[in-house]
Structure 1
């Protein structure tokens, strides 16, 4: 009896393996049958599906011809005087008042609420987050290299310029509307409204006055340096002596030509920077580019020409599946009865 036990175990294992292979074969057969049934179902209903796609395209075309097309104007702007938070807040305020149709709010800048039908705006930074991250990493490496020259004036200027540049980011305001003429006018009025903030107007005026005063002072100092260098040159020509770089005036004061020229160059550079700032920062919101009116183009799967036909086809499959379930349920009901 003990000798027969291994034989029985082997036969049992062979039977189980055979059943497993048979189950796997049946599974593949069922998959094949399901694929063939699906193919036959699509073949049987191909005309209906094609008709639904055509009907969906016709509906999409009719809707697109009846509904006004959206237009937009993209404006590239630069917030000045640390006014980025203010610009975002005031745009959010305008968006809220557009939705609520607050006529008293828009009367402040001569806008009729009736013209706001289909009008909207939004703002976003132009800099790509990934590019901004790479720029920050590069700037940090650059600043680390400049640490060894931190006592030099050129290094201080470069570090100041890098740190200042990181705080200035261009933004894009997108105005969307349905009427090209009124949409453009509304966009300009809103931009003018943003620029009329009293606080930032005072900041702007103080900034421009300080910049002009600095330019005038530096211009006077440059003239004085030129006079000193000119007087020094005339003295050297009269005495016909070679200069070692400095002479003594009135027995006490030393004149260092190299330092004066360096100081003059610094004043000239600062005048150039201030003139550039005055040119760039004339308003709270500098308009870098006022785009032209263009049509809003929606992504493919947000377009009615795709959504409506696709919805009709999906609805057809759902109805067909419900009909199939109803037939199966009726058969089961007949068998039970």
Structure 2
């Protein structure tokens, strides 16, 4: 039994000895690394400075390639999304036409400063659901939703009219005082479409007529309810209005109150449309031309110095490893 305990103690001592030896080797390696960088600090400092300067100039060069961008969010009216998309997508080709540029009121030199112009929907699933519900009021529209509402198809052309808002993104090659003027001219040209102007004028004219009719109906209901307050009905059965025309149905007071609320909401929507729906689209957010420099600055200025220091550290490590292997082979 004592021999077994003695053997166990020897095994434990050997294990602790191995751990101690390993720990010392680890500490020795750390100290060697610190001493190495301490000896070579001038070299790595030069590498850090050279890498930082190089990275700075690379950052500046990257910024000038895609530096200025403008984002505008619009809300198309009168089912004009397809027309707006087609116009934007063909804009680059149309810039080659002198007559087109003349109609826009911009020169070819200024147009060349537009690197890229694109438009995409601001995707909101609720917009699709609201549109489907409006289209299929008297049908089993939830079945249509299950068929149509697939995330992979939300950006397809067939869904463009479903979204209320669309983002127009313009990238410029360089800063220019004409950038904002060009975009204003392009958007103004889109709004000048005669077909949609006629639709807008006709729709607004009809809305004005509808507002007057709805206001007269609202005045009639208010007048009747006001008279009712002055001479309240004595019996519950009297809470019914019988229309003078025999072809019209009887109307209850409860339905009148409900009709009043609906008329107020409808008039508010129509008056809002008179202001917001005057043109083919309205602006939700008209962003300024901004620089993307802040997003790119210092990225390469930090990456390149670290890369240079890492490469030189790897070089010295491999050289040290090669020397150790040669000594090991020589000892063998």
Normalising by structure 1, we get a TM-score of 0.60
C-alpha distance in 1, partners of 2:270/2:242? Answer: 35
Which ranges in structure 1 are unaligned for 5 or more consecutive residues?
A: 1-5, 134-166
Matches within 5 A, 1:13-52: 13-52=8-47
Query: Shift in Å at residue 176 of structure 1?
Result: 3.0
C-alpha distance in 1, partners of 2:226/2:297? Answer: 77
Counterpart selection for 1:267 from 263, 269, 275: 263
Counterpart selection for 1:73 from 65, 70, 73: 70
Query: Shift in Å at residue 40 of structure 1?
Result: 0.5
C-alpha distance in 2, partners of 1:317/1:306? Answer: 17
For 1:155, the equivalent position in structure 2 comes to none
Query: Shift in Å at residue 36 of structure 1?
Result: 0.4
Q: Give the conservation status (yes or no) of the 8 Å contact 1:218–1:267.
A: no
Query: Shift in Å at residue 273 of structure 1?
Result: 0.2
Query: Shift in Å at residue 25 of structure 1?
Result: 0.8
* 1:305 matches 2:328: no
Q: Deviations over 1:269-301 (max 9, x none)?
A: 312202213433445543223222222144478
* 1:213 matches 2:203: no
C-alpha distance in 1, partners of 2:295/2:192? Answer: 37
Q: Give the conservation status (yes or no) of the 8 Å contact 2:54–2:304.
A: yes
Query: Shift in Å at residue 179 of structure 1?
Result: 2.6
Greater CA deviation, 27-36 or 108-117?
108-117
Q: Deviations over 1:13-32 (max 9, x none)?
A: 22221111111111111111
Q: Give the conservation status (yes or no) of the 8 Å contact 2:191–2:280.
A: yes
* 1:280 matches 2:276: yes
Greater CA deviation, 249-258 or 46-55?
249-258
Q: Deviations over 1:97-145 (max 9, x none)?
A: 97xx896699966684985467245667779x9xx99xxxxxxxxxxxx
Change over 3 Å in CA distance of 1:175–1:254 after alignment to 2: closer
C-alpha distance in 1, partners of 2:249/2:111? Answer: 72
Which ranges in structure 2 are unaligned for 5 or more consecutive residues?
A: 127-161, 234-238
C-alpha distance in 2, partners of 1:326/1:114? Answer: 61
Q: Deviations over 1:221-277 (max 9, x none)?
A: 53366469769999x9xxxx9463778786979997956575455334312202213
For 2:318, the equivalent position in structure 1 comes to 322
Q: Give the conservation status (yes or no) of the 8 Å contact 1:74–1:173.
A: yes
Q: Give the conservation status (yes or no) of the 8 Å contact 1:71–1:293.
A: yes
Greater CA deviation, 172-181 or 106-115?
106-115
Change over 3 Å in CA distance of 1:336–1:220 after alignment to 2: same
For 1:157, the equivalent position in structure 2 comes to none
C-alpha distance in 2, partners of 1:118/1:309? Answer: 35
Q: What is the number of residues matched between the two proteins?
A: 282
Q: Give the conservation status (yes or no) of the 8 Å contact 1:195–1:284.
A: yes
